[in-house]
Chain A
């Protein structure tokens, strides 16, 4: 019983942490993808594309939509306040085929926005400048500055975007950048998790630099992956500690049951059968501990996903970002069973070495 509890506790902790890691990753992925295309195609840093490649890109199998854009750093001013921003000039009709238009617009009217004469700001940027829909702001690029009306505010829930991105019509963007070309194309595919599969074909078709969505936020995803790996290792060591505890329990049990094992041996049980008895107990402990651990973790994840929390505004979180790590359940279960088996290997080996003669001699 103790061994089952030991394993289940470690498994619960492992799965809850993995679910947190999964939840955080999903959270940021969803937020980023609200405004970011699944893949971007660019000529290079500070380089523009003058050729219309829309048709070429659409011919690549699996590509659902394409939208050209210009993107560059700039400043936004409102009175005395100024903020460094990224300006993205888009062709709204095609851009809305890439993004989730219904979800992101916090204030404003799409009909007005689609005219492409105004600016759409992230809510955090608007808050820091103190502007709202209908207010006038000035965008300052290295080439010129231009006053624009705020046509809308968007909200993705990812501070990195909501606090620094300004979207304008493609022509306004080109004017600010002093170009007639574009800096890149955004591409939408069926399943964003398969974005990496499209890198090669798109690169071959266009000769452009193709980046999947997650690469634009590489730092964020790398740090999440590192944290996840570190946590998994910490918990694997926890599992190892459980295994050592279980091994001690079984070593004691083996010592206490030497007499019984000797009797079994004298009655004809082979060392292999005796070892198998212990091994089966270990495997059963691991399996049951794993099952209990998975069920407890599922319950804990369900409970935690309903907990309302208060975190600094930067996180935009009202609920803990936790998503059941169902893909990890199988290897975690396998780890539990292996832990149980590994824990009883030494005791099982000792039991196979019990000399049945000792039983007879002690009795004689």
Chain B
């Protein structure tokens, strides 16, 4: 248990009034591990990732971090853990329109109160191929560029775990493949844990990740046909 970044023990989620999305999930993500969570739209992928990222409290079960039930921690400690250990990538990039690309990438470091001289946003932007667009605003970027910037932001705090929720959902297949290759390269280089949720099974080969399927609220390492 202590070797994993996050461990879910018997986790379930019930949305009011009585919509059960997830049930009895036992799962752990180890440092440096790559996982893909697959499932149709509305299957509970985002809910699972929110629980994994300590954003959403499960209705049942425990989310264990560093050997403790993270939901027994005060909110401040959970927020601090999220800021220090997690990087997020969302489907629509989630860049703040008021800030430049570089400011967006440095934002998690700013929130953590890290001194400016230690901000590595520009290096990360260069690493994802956006070195020359650092002073542009998000509205000036293409979908693929915005997603690259979002990946750079996710990596800004040198996280142990990156959670990417449909990071290619708004992209053409070609761009989606590029983003997956970039994620794979960065993961191999920086060795963070990576969990990607997608409904596009074709991307598994580009991510070279262990696939998991959400079927009727349960998590399975077998595809739906085999699971049934």
Q: Which residues of A contact B (CB under 8 A)?
A: 259-260, 263-264, 266-270, 273, 356-357, 359-361, 363-364
Contacts and interface: CB of A to CB of B under 8 A. Distances in A.
A64 to B, nearest CB: 63
Interface of B: 45-47, 49-50, 53, 55-56, 75-76, 79-80, 82-84, 86, 88, 90-92, 94, 96-98, 107-108, 111-112, 153, 165-166, 169, 197
A127 B90 CA distance: 89
A314 B59 CA distance: 82
B83 A267 contact: yes
Given A363-B90, A364-B166, 7 more contacts: A263-B94, A267-B107, A267-B111, A268-B80, A273-B111, A363-B166, A363-B169
Given A361-B46, A363-B94, A364-B197, A356 B55 contact: yes
Task: Report the 4 A-B pairs with minimum CB-CB distance, sorted nearest first.
Answer: A268-B83, A364-B46, A363-B90, A363-B91
Contacts of A260: 96-98
14 contacts: A259-B94, A264-B107, A267-B107, A267-B111, A269-B111, A273-B111, A360-B49, A360-B88, A360-B90, A361-B50, A363-B46, A363-B91, A363-B169, A364-B197
Contacts of A359: 90, 94
Contacts, number: 69
A180 B214 CA distance: 114
B141 to A, nearest CB: 16
Given A267-B88, A364-B45, A364-B166, A357 B111 contact: no
B62 to A, nearest CB: 18
Contacts of B91: 363-364
Contact of B111 (A259, A264, A360, A361): A264
Nearest to A260: B96
A267 B106 CA distance: 11
A6 to B, nearest CB: 22
Contacts of B56: 357
Contacts of A361: 46-47, 50
